[in-house]
Chains A and B, each alone.
Chain A
Amino acid sequence: MSAAVQARAGPDGAAGNAVAVLLLVGAAATSGAVYVLAVSRIAPHPVAQSFFTALVCLTFVGTGAAALRLQPYARFGLLLSAVGLAALISVLHDANHALPYTLGVFASNVVFAVLVHALLAYPSGRLGSRGARLLVAAAYLNTLGVQAIAVVFDPLTRYHSNHPRNLALIDRYAALSTGLEEAEAGIAIAIAAAVVFLFTRRIRAATPAARRQLVPVLYCGEIALLLFALGFVLTPLSSPAGLVGFGLGLLASIALPGAFLVTLVQGRLSRGAVGDLLLELGEPGGRHELEDALRRALGDPSLRLGRLAADASGYVDSAGRRLELPRVGDVQVATPILHAGEPIGTLVHDRSLRLRADQLEAVSAAAGAALASERALRALEAVEKQNRALLDAIPDPMIRVARDGTYLDVRADDTDQLLELPQEMIGRNVRDLLTPSLADDVMDWIARTLTDGGVTTFEYEIEIDGVKRWKESRMMPSGPDEAVTIVRDFTEQRRAEAGQRRLAAEQAALRRVATLVAGNAPPERVFQAVTEEVCVLLGLRTAVLHRFGDHGTTTIVGKFGDLTGQFELGNVLELEVGTAMQVLETGAPARCDYATLTGPGAAELRELGFASAVGVPITVAGLTWGALVVALRPDEVMPLETEHRLQAFAELVGLAVASADARDEVAASRLRIVEASDNERRRLERNLHDGAQQRLVALSLGLRLVQAKLRTSPEEAQELLLKMSEELAAAITELRELAQGIHPAVLTDRGLRAALEVLAARVPLAVELDVDVEGRVPESIETAAYYTVSEALTNVAKHARAASAAVRVFCEDDVLAVEIADDGVGGADAELGSGLRGLRDRVETLDGDLWVESPPGGGTLVRAELPLRVGSLAMAGREP
């Protein structure tokens, strides 16, 4: 008993001592038995018997000692050892002395009882049921009690004639002892049968795990018992036969420790299964897989794994349902699974597994590790889920890449931002997809990120579908040998910035040119400035400004850069098929490739190293005035929007030209006004000189003649005076008309309506007059309107061959409109008639406009518009 206690205390120390003691006892007992046999005078086969006895004893004691080291089998080990030692007792049959012989006869059958005891106590070493205890008690009573009674009445002469004396013999009563021995045999058979019956029931009721443990040992035990029982039966009939029976029983019982050893080895193998289990748990698997692995490891298909519920209120099974723990007395028991000292789950398993406590412990530890890792995995999954949700919320592509540059994972909402579809990228290497230099950079970044450990930001450019894009990569390690990068595309931003910079430069250049234009710089200076600004802005070396002439010629009016040959300023060239000609023909931007052109100009340009050209029209007053052409060398490329940008400059050139034209026109108009004024003075002087003055001169001469005639011929003088008074009247009329022609007094005194009424009355044709003007308009406007009507009606009377004319004067949107229409022959030309041109100059001086519509045969309409606002300002300025 103390050995068993010690064995329980510790597997290596105390159990080791117990085993040593047991082995020593076994060895000593076996040695004693061999000695008895060796010196025996009666042993028929001392050597064979010694070997046989030692084999049986040492097998049982050895197995028992082995079981002592395995804590749940310690008690059973002791019982096995007891069987071995009990088997030695029979050796005393061959002792030379009476005392050991008598003791041997008394106890020779006890081995049967010990065997029954051991078998019924298997595997825990305890007798679990009342029946078992009764049977064991019966067996001991039978082999010791019944045997003892039989021995005291038996002279024991059946085995050997020369055996020692039976010290316990009370009386020779052969019939009684034989009867008792037969009864003992019967009882032994009955016990053996009962044991078989119990075993059969027990095996049938056992769980598979328990059955696997029970079957080898119990079956072997049964066979041994039956053979023993046979020995009992045979002993009364024939001593050697009985010995053979016992011998066979003992021999068979050797199978018992063998079977037990097999079971133990099975257990060892199961512990190997724990190793497998640990390996298996290393593999990813579901919750059920863990349970199945545990079942396999412990050989218990009924095993259920409980995980600590999230609220720690109990356990849940692999399906997530609440797991009810077995109650005391159930076939199943629960073993808690601990991790770091805390319960993390439970194993509900067959009670029998408790016998393999170390295995259970190992499996439970493995399950603990698995559950802990499962739990950590779940926590990780939760974090990962959160991260993933975060990543999902980030619109930018996320790429996981291994240290060696292999794409591990690619996620992107917008696959347009990727070089390939994610599934095409995964598994490939950056070197397969990126340009060598970018791949080098990326490999460098990965290495640096994995070395530094933190978030590193890189910027790079990449061409996707032929479009250059700017990217920013934020890379951080996602494992020992991999990094994750979030790639942000900021192409639009970059483009916008570049566009803004470009726009600012363009605006500045345009502003410089516009300042020149606004400052009335000579067009030649504007042309030069434009060619220069365009080159600087677009990063080109040469620009030329053409001015198209008549008869297919063009003049180089502006040039910047290293263009030589015929393209010198002021050169007049024949237009040939090319950019400029295309611009002239279409009035739209054009591009040409010199390689496809055959003209001498193109040849010269090719020779000068130019490859192509882009040109835009310069439009003045709706006509294509010229072209702005930039010549490109082979290394210079022009994006598509170039034409737009050139156009802005071309428009400024057009504006400069138009403005210069307008200035010329103003100067010409001023000249015409001066000339008209001079002509008017000349006309007045001529009229005065030729008209009134001549008449007055003639009158003065006439008066002198009259003076002379008065003396010689008073009648003639009388006649002369009469002629002279007529001449004087004519002179007065002429002077009056002349004065009227200088400025109509009625216009000053009575206003436009009255003046036009007088005018209409003087014209020798029917004039319908419609003047719709409230009050007076500024004097300059009134005068211009009056003379417009006057000149127009004079023209009608002189040239139109019209029957009637209509004059309308009305105010419209701060403009005084004057219309003179006739039903004459038409065909008048405002440019040719000096009268109309003078009128136009006068109207334009007042910021007004004058049109003449005069289709041949369709009458003539002259319309003048005079802005009242400018006029009133002019008038206001004139007033003191």
Chain B
Amino acid sequence: MKMEHRQLVEQVRRVLVVDDHAGFRGCASALLAEEGFEVVGEAADGAAAVELARELAPDVVLLDVQLPDMDGFAVTERLLADDPQLRVVLVSSRDRSAYGPLIEQSGARGFVAKSDLSGATLERLLE
């Protein structure tokens, strides 16, 4: 099990960070890098996220729900349309209750409140 987990984690270490707040993107990238993830790219809006995902083929997309051009649920739909195997984790400064069933319906792997974000929480969601 542990081996499988490690293998899985090692398989999914390439992360694309999508948020319109540069401060959050910086912090999140630094934190994930510190915790052994490879941040392959950053995007500030939904369109750029879809573009970079196609280009970089990340394992995980850390996607903010509230974006200037479209919301995270719509972006998730697009990303999964391109690559159904892609792991999309939604983030928000609001807590999970703000979105409720929308998160599962979107097809995203999980949701994490921004204040709870860490390599460990991300890994737990990816298991």
Contact = CB atoms under 8 A, between A and B. Distances in A.
Interface residues of A, number: 17
A698 B34 contact: no
B31 A697 contact: no
A869 B66 CA distance: 47
A113 B50 CA distance: 192
Ranked nearest first, the 4 interchain pairs of A and B with the lowest CB-CB distance are A701-B27, A697-B114, A698-B23, A700-B115
A640 B31 CA distance: 93
A270 to B, nearest CB: 150
Interface string A684-706: 00000110011111101110110
Given A689-B66, A701-B117, A694 B34 contact: no
Nearest to B114: A697
B24 A698 contact: yes
Overall SS of chain B's interface: helix
Query: Which of B21, B27, B93 is most buried by chain A, counting CB atoms within 10 A of its CB?
Result: B27
Contact of A694 (B24, B31, B118): B24
A696 B115 CA distance: 8
B93 A694 contact: yes
Nearest to B118: A704
A712 B31 CA distance: 13
Contacts of A708: 31, 34-35
Interface string B104-127: 000000000011011000000000
B70 to A, nearest CB: 17
Nearest to B119: A708
B19 to A, nearest CB: 9
Contacts of A488: none
A727 interface: yes
19 contacts: A689-B93, A689-B94, A694-B21, A694-B93, A696-B115, A698-B21, A698-B26, A698-B27, A700-B114, A701-B24, A701-B28, A701-B31, A701-B114, A701-B117, A704-B117, A704-B118, A705-B27, A705-B31, A712-B34
A704 to B, nearest CB: 6
Given A694-B24, A697-B115, 17 more contacts: A689-B93, A689-B94, A690-B21, A693-B93, A698-B23, A698-B26, A698-B27, A701-B31, A701-B114, A701-B115, A701-B117, A702-B27, A704-B117, A705-B30, A705-B34, A708-B34, A712-B34
Nearest to A708: B34
A727 B117 CA distance: 18
A728 to B, nearest CB: 12
Given A701-B114, A701-B117, A695 B35 contact: no
Interface of B: 21, 23-24, 26-28, 30-31, 34-35, 66, 93-94, 114-115, 117-118
Contacts of B114: 697, 700-701
Nearest to A711: B34
Nearest to B33: A705
B96 to A, nearest CB: 15
A670 interface: no
Nearest to A688: B93
Nearest to A699: B27
A709 interface: yes
Contacts of B115: 696-697, 700-701
A727 B27 CA distance: 12
A727 B66 CA distance: 22
A704 B31 contact: yes
Contacts of B27: 698, 701-702, 705
A698 B31 CA distance: 11
B44 to A, nearest CB: 13
B34 A695 contact: no
A697 B26 CA distance: 12
A727 B23 contact: yes
Interface in A499-517: none
Contacts of A701: 24, 27-28, 31, 114-115, 117
Interface in A706-748: 708-709, 712, 727
Nearest to B91: A697
A690 B117 CA distance: 18
A709 B34 CA distance: 8
A698 B19 CA distance: 12
Nearest to B116: A700
Query: Which of B35, B93, B117, B118 is most buried by chain A, counting CB atoms within 10 A of its CB?
Result: B93
Contacts of B66: 689
A704 B35 CA distance: 11
A173 to B, nearest CB: 206
A298 to B, nearest CB: 147
A689 B34 CA distance: 27
A498 B23 CA distance: 89
A525 to B, nearest CB: 48
B42 to A, nearest CB: 14
A704 B30 CA distance: 10
Nearest to B115: A700
B84 to A, nearest CB: 30
Contacts of A694: 21, 23-24, 93
Contacts of B26: 698
A518 B71 CA distance: 51
Query: Which of B34, B35, B66 is most buried by chain A, counting CB atoms within 10 A of its CB?
Result: B34
Contacts of B118: 704
Nearest to B66: A689
A693 B31 CA distance: 19
Query: Which of A700, A702, A704, A708 is most buried by chain B, counting CB atoms within 10 A of its CB?
Result: A704
A690 B115 CA distance: 14
Contacts of A690: 21
A727 B21 CA distance: 13
A695 B23 contact: yes
A708 B118 CA distance: 10
Contacts of B30: 705
Contacts of A695: 23
Nearest to B20: A690
A700 B27 CA distance: 9
A679 to B, nearest CB: 17
A697 B93 contact: yes
A681 to B, nearest CB: 15
B31 to A, nearest CB: 5
Contacts of B28: 701
Query: Which of A693, A697, A708 is most buried by chain B, counting CB atoms within 10 A of its CB?
Result: A697
Contacts of A704: 31, 117-118
A698 B17 CA distance: 14
B69 to A, nearest CB: 15
Contacts of B34: 705, 708-709, 712
A444 B78 CA distance: 110
A457 to B, nearest CB: 98
Interface string A526-559: 0000000000000000000000000000000000
A733 to B, nearest CB: 15
Contacts of A689: 66, 93-94
Contacts of B117: 701, 704
A608 B29 CA distance: 87
Contacts of B23: 694-695, 698, 727
A158 to B, nearest CB: 200
A27 to B, nearest CB: 177
Nearest to B19: A694
A693 B113 CA distance: 12
Interface in A639-695: 689-690, 693-695
Contacts of A712: 34
Contacts of B31: 701, 704-705, 708
A469 to B, nearest CB: 89
B56 to A, nearest CB: 22
A696 B26 CA distance: 14
A695 B26 CA distance: 12
Contacts of A705: 27, 30-31, 34
A709 to B, nearest CB: 7
A691 to B, nearest CB: 10
A727 to B, nearest CB: 7
A727 B94 CA distance: 20
A694 B94 CA distance: 10
